[in-house]
Amino acid sequence: MRYRNLFGLLALAALAILTVVSQADALTGLKTYKEVVISIQVTPSPAPVGWLAPKKQTLPDPFVGNVQIASSGSAWDVAPGAPVMIAQSSAQPTPVPVQFVAKPDPNAAFLRVIPHPPGAGYFSAPYGTTVFPCAFEIFTYYTNSYKLQDWGWNTTKTGGGNSGTFPIENYPTISDLSWAVPDFSPTVTPYWNQGPGGETTWVGAVKQAQQHCINLTLVVPNSQPAGSFTATIQYNLYVTLP
C-alpha cells in the first residue's frame, strides 16, 4: 500500500511539472515579425588570361606615308557631303507624379531591421564561400522578456515559386546561406529551412533594448548556375505575456 501511495505521488508530481511547463509555453506569444529579402548575384570565377598571336597588318597605318585622315584643304579621304546626324532629340512624355503614403509601423519600437545595402544593390558572390560582415542589423525591445527567432522562406513547407532552391534549399539539404551574431559568438549557423518554428537568434530580458549586426556567409557550389537569386528570412519576436 505504501508503494502504491509513493507511485501515486510521483505521478501527480510529474503531471504538475508538465502542467507548469505547458502553462509557461502558453504564455509566450508572437508579438511581431519582419522579413528580410537578400538579393544575390552569383558570378563565375574569373577566367584564366589568354594570349592571342598578333595578326598580320592588312590595313595601312594612318600615321605612315601620305595617307590623309583629315584636312582643311581640298583633299579629303571622306568627302564632305550632307550633314551626318549623330543623335536626335525626341519629345518625352510628361512625367506622371507618383505619391507614396508612408504608414507608421506600430511595432517598430519592438522589432526593426536596419539594412546595409551594398553599393551595387545586391550581394555579389563567386563560387565558394563568401562572408558579408554586418549585412544588416536587427533591433529588439519589449517590456517583458522575449526571444528572437529566424527561419528561411521558399521551402516546400512554406511554399513559393522557388521552393527548395538556392540559397535556402530544402530540408534535409543544409541551407547555403548562414548567419552569425559576432557580438555573441563567431559560430556560423545555416538558416533554418524546415518551415515555421525556426531557431533562436538571441534572447532579451525585461525592457532590454538590443541592436546587433548579422553576418552572412554564402556558399555557392560549383554546380550552381550563375544568375540572380533571392533569399527571404523571417524574424519573429516572441514575448512572455503578463
**All domains of the chain in start order, with CATH:** 28-43+105-240 (2.60.40)
What is the Cα–Cα distance from 190 to 132, expressed in whole angstroms? Answer: 14
pTM of the complete model: 0.67
Task: Give me the residues paired with residue 149 across strands.
Answer: 200, 236
CA atoms within a 13 Å half-sphere pointing along the CA-CB vector of 45: 10
Please report, for residues 38, 71, 75, 183, the alpha-carbon distance to residue 62 in angstroms, rounded to integers and kept in the order given: 53, 13, 15, 65
Indicate the length of the chain as a whole number.
Answer: 242
Phi-psi region of 33 (alpha: psi -120 to 50; beta: other; left: phi over 0): beta
How confident is the model over 118-174, as pLDDT tens digits? 988 899 999 999 999 999 999 999 999 999 999 999 888 888 777 889 999 999 999
**How is 151-168 classified by DSSP, letter by letter?**
EESSSTTT--TTTT-TTT
Strand blocks (E) in 89-209: 111-115, 123-125, 128-140, 146-152, 177-180, 189-190, 199-204
pLDDT digits (tens, 9 = 90+) for 17-55: 433 333 445 478 999 999 999 999 999 865 443 344 444
pLDDT of res. 235 = 97
Q: Render pLDDT for 166-220 as a digit per residue (tens, 0 to 9).
A: 999 999 999 999 999 999 999 999 999 998 889 999 999 999 999 999 999 999 9
Give the separation between CA 206 and CA 184, rounded to whole angstroms. Answer: 19
